[in-house]
Amino acid sequence: MRLLFLTILIGWCWMPSFADVLEQSQIQWPRYILESFNSDSLATFLSSDSEIDRIAACIRIGELGEKKYYPTLLATFEREPYRTGLDLHYGVKYHSLIAMAKTDEAGAEETIKRIAARHLIKRNDVDRQATSDTILVLQGAFDALGLIASDDAKEFLDSVFKDNGIYWPIRSMADYNYWKIGVADTSISSKADTANFLFSHLDDFRGPNRQFESDGSINAVFLIENSIRTIIYENRGWIMPYLNNYVNSISIGDPYRHSILELKTDMERNPAE
């Protein structure tokens, strides 16, 4: 998960997951909520005056994954203000969407797609509509659809990515989750299969790829390549031996080899926990 709205994609970039943010944050997260099994208290915490409590309740409800929470989570999303006081990358709206996806409620997917559709930003409306809050809602919706991982969810994400009229960081977030679903596909049964899936598709979109076209529009191949590179980076805890083999398969004189070696160096400098 990455806040691409808050970064510029030059070559490749990565943003921390909420788990990383949670671990590194100086905020005292309420363990009595994060470890609770009490349905009534969790529902109460969703209405707490404390944003920390509301976020923690969404996280815990998502972990429990019970369908009965779905209406309450939807109500939480709708009433939550867009502007929040926490200096975090994620907020209540984001986590309520993630939790809705984890309840496995039959109607959750369509609801999340409708929420995403009404927050999509067209290129011509960027100055008027593009706020970090709006981007967070879209990232939450796309990440939630990535968790649901249905064919319809994948099709929706792909349709967002292919719409040239949509603001390009939003298309990039959708594309990232499209590829995440591909990696999670049940037909991929081993780490070797997953690595082969990623590297074979990386070959399909290998650079150098310019970020923008001559008319100022984003280069779609650039976005796809960055999505795949990000997923490779996120799996750095186990994928390094396969990456080494991939590097060795690229001829020494190929400029693309240097680009992949930069990715490999970045992964080695930032080992997985």
Task: Report which secondary-structure segment, H or E, holds 172.
Answer: helix 168-184
State how far the Cα of 108 lies from the Cα of 6, in Å rounded to an integer.
Answer: 28
Give a yes or no: residue 257 inside a domain: no
Kindly tell me the burial class for residue 98, based on how many C-beta atoms sit within 10 Å of its own C-beta (0-12, 13-18, 19 or more): buried
Query: Domain for residue 255, yes or no?
Result: no
Whether 270 is covered by a domain: the verdict is no
Task: Please report the pLDDT score of residue 3 as a whole number.
Answer: 41
Q: What percent of the chain has pLDDT over 70?
A: 83
Report the C-alpha gap between 54 and 164 in whole angstroms: 36
267 domain-assigned: no
In a domain, 39, yes or no: yes
Considering the entire predicted model, what is its pTM? 0.85
Q: Does a structural domain hold residue 97?
A: yes
Number of structural domains found in the chain = 1
Q: Can you give the pLDDT of all 273 residues of the chain as single tens digits?
A: 444 333 433 333 444 455 555 555 566 789 999 999 988 889 899 999 998 999 999 999 999 998 999 999 999 999 998 765 455 557 899 999 999 999 989 999 999 999 999 999 887 776 555 567 788 899 999 999 999 999 999 999 999 999 998 988 899 999 999 999 988 875 667 899 999 999 999 999 886 667 777 777 788 888 999 999 999 999 999 999 999 999 999 999 998 999 999 999 999 999 987
Strand-pairing partners, residue 212, are 218
Describe the crossing of helices 191-204 and 220-234 by its angle, rounded to 10 degrees: 160
Is the backbone peptide bond immediately before 16 cis, with ω within 30 degrees of 0?
A: no
Distance in angstroms (rounded) separating the CA atoms of residues 90 and 110? 22
Residue 129 in domain? yes
- Which pLDDT belongs to residue 28? 79
Tens digits of per-residue pLDDT, 132-141? Answer: 778 889 999 9
Range of the domain at 62: 18-164
Residue 11 domain flag:
no
